[in-house]
Amino acid sequence: NAGVTQTPKFQVLKTGQSMTLQCAQDMNHEYMSWYRQDPGMGLRLIHYSVGAGITDQGEVPNGYNVSRSTTEDFPLRLLSAAPSQTSVYFCASTSRTEAFFGQGTRLTVV
Protein backbone atom coordinates (compact mmCIF):
# COMPACT_ATOMS: atom_id res chain seq x y z
CA ASN A 1 0.00 0.00 0.00
CA ALA A 2 2.70 2.46 -1.08
CA GLY A 3 0.59 5.43 -2.31
CA VAL A 4 3.00 8.08 -3.62
CA THR A 5 6.72 7.32 -3.58
CA GLN A 6 9.16 10.16 -4.03
CA THR A 7 12.93 9.86 -4.33
CA PRO A 8 15.40 11.02 -3.21
CA LYS A 9 14.51 12.39 0.22
CA PHE A 10 17.50 14.73 0.33
CA GLN A 11 19.77 16.09 -2.39
CA VAL A 12 22.55 18.65 -2.64
CA LEU A 13 23.42 19.99 -6.10
CA LYS A 14 25.97 22.40 -7.39
CA THR A 15 24.80 25.33 -9.47
CA GLY A 16 24.42 24.25 -13.08
CA GLN A 17 24.00 20.55 -12.38
CA SER A 18 20.92 18.71 -13.58
CA MET A 19 18.89 16.06 -11.83
CA THR A 20 15.59 14.24 -11.88
CA LEU A 21 13.22 13.91 -8.94
CA GLN A 22 11.27 10.71 -9.21
CA CYS A 23 7.60 10.25 -8.35
CA ALA A 24 5.51 7.11 -8.66
CA GLN A 25 1.96 6.31 -7.59
CA ASP A 26 0.13 3.02 -7.40
CA MET A 27 -3.43 4.31 -7.08
CA ASN A 28 -4.13 4.54 -10.84
CA HIS A 29 -4.88 8.27 -10.58
CA GLU A 30 -5.04 10.32 -13.74
CA TYR A 31 -3.93 13.55 -12.10
CA MET A 32 -0.43 14.16 -10.77
CA SER A 33 1.30 17.38 -9.77
CA TRP A 34 4.59 18.80 -8.56
CA TYR A 35 4.75 21.54 -5.92
CA ARG A 36 7.54 23.40 -4.23
CA GLN A 37 7.25 24.68 -0.69
CA ASP A 38 9.25 27.59 0.63
CA PRO A 39 8.95 29.22 4.07
CA GLY A 40 5.90 31.46 4.23
CA MET A 41 4.93 30.68 0.62
CA GLY A 42 2.80 27.60 0.99
CA LEU A 43 2.71 25.07 -1.82
CA ARG A 44 3.24 26.49 -5.29
CA LEU A 45 2.31 24.45 -8.33
CA ILE A 46 5.17 23.79 -10.75
CA HIS A 47 3.68 21.43 -13.34
CA TYR A 48 0.73 19.08 -13.46
CA SER A 49 -0.60 16.28 -15.62
CA VAL A 50 -4.12 15.08 -16.38
CA GLY A 51 -2.99 11.75 -17.81
CA ALA A 52 -0.25 9.94 -19.67
CA GLY A 53 1.18 12.14 -22.40
CA ILE A 54 -0.49 15.33 -21.15
CA THR A 55 1.25 17.94 -19.01
CA ASP A 56 0.76 21.64 -18.33
CA GLN A 57 2.47 24.46 -16.50
CA GLY A 58 1.54 25.66 -13.07
CA GLU A 59 2.44 28.88 -11.27
CA VAL A 60 6.23 28.53 -11.22
CA PRO A 61 7.35 26.31 -14.15
CA ASN A 62 10.56 28.06 -15.18
CA GLY A 63 13.67 25.89 -14.85
CA TYR A 64 11.71 22.65 -14.61
CA ASN A 65 10.60 20.03 -17.12
CA VAL A 66 8.17 17.16 -16.76
CA SER A 67 6.94 14.23 -18.81
CA ARG A 68 4.26 11.60 -18.23
CA SER A 69 4.93 8.50 -20.27
CA THR A 70 2.94 6.23 -17.94
CA THR A 71 0.06 6.69 -15.53
CA GLU A 72 2.29 5.68 -12.62
CA ASP A 73 5.32 7.93 -13.08
CA PHE A 74 5.73 11.70 -13.19
CA PRO A 75 9.41 12.75 -12.96
CA LEU A 76 10.50 16.36 -12.47
CA ARG A 77 13.71 17.46 -14.15
CA LEU A 78 15.88 20.38 -13.13
CA LEU A 79 17.80 21.32 -16.25
CA SER A 80 20.45 23.60 -14.75
CA ALA A 81 20.07 23.98 -11.00
CA ALA A 82 20.12 27.46 -9.48
CA PRO A 83 20.25 28.51 -5.80
CA SER A 84 16.69 29.86 -6.20
CA GLN A 85 15.54 26.26 -6.66
CA THR A 86 16.56 25.38 -3.12
CA SER A 87 13.27 24.21 -1.69
CA VAL A 88 11.22 21.25 -0.55
CA TYR A 89 9.49 19.50 -3.45
CA PHE A 90 6.31 17.50 -3.16
CA CYS A 91 4.71 15.23 -5.70
CA ALA A 92 0.95 14.67 -5.45
CA SER A 93 -1.40 12.16 -6.98
CA THR A 94 -4.98 13.34 -7.05
CA SER A 95 -8.29 11.51 -7.08
CA ARG A 96 -11.54 13.38 -7.78
CA THR A 97 -11.72 14.46 -4.16
CA GLU A 98 -8.31 14.56 -2.53
CA ALA A 99 -4.59 14.76 -3.13
CA PHE A 100 -2.10 12.22 -1.80
CA PHE A 101 1.39 13.55 -1.26
CA GLY A 102 4.79 11.98 -1.27
CA GLN A 103 7.21 12.40 1.61
CA GLY A 104 8.99 15.31 -0.09
CA THR A 105 12.49 15.98 -1.41
CA ARG A 106 14.63 18.56 0.34
CA LEU A 107 16.85 20.04 -2.34
CA THR A 108 19.75 22.39 -1.68
CA VAL A 109 21.57 24.09 -4.55
CA VAL A 110 24.94 25.53 -3.63
Partner 1 sequence: SQKIEQNSEALNIQEGKTATLTCNYTNYSPAYLQWYRQDPGRGPVFLLLIRENEKEKRKERLKVTFDTTLKQSLFHITASQPADSATYLCALYGSSNTGKLIFGQGTTLQVKP
Smaller CB separation from partner 1, 17 or 86: 86
Answer yes or no: are the C-beta atoms of 23 and 73 closer than 8 Å.
Answer: yes
Question: Is 41 an interacting residue with respect to partner 1 (CB under 8 A)?
Answer: yes
Answer yes or no: are the C-beta atoms of 64 and 78 closer than 8 Å.
Answer: yes
Determine the interface stretch with partner 1 among 12-20, 42-50, 64-72, 73-81 (rule: CB under 8 A).
42-50
Beta bridge partners of 55: 49
Smaller CB separation from partner 1, 17 or 73: 73
Q: Cα–Cα distance between 55 and 57 in angstroms, integer?
A: 7
Q: Cα–Cα distance between 23 and 30 in angstroms, integer?
A: 14
> 18: helix, coil or strand?
coil
CB of 48 to partner 1, least distance (A): 5
Q: Please give the size of the binding site for partner 1, defined by CB under 8 A.
A: 29
Interface residue list for partner 1 (CB under 8 A): 4, 29-33, 35, 40-45, 48, 50, 56, 58-59, 90, 92, 94, 97-104
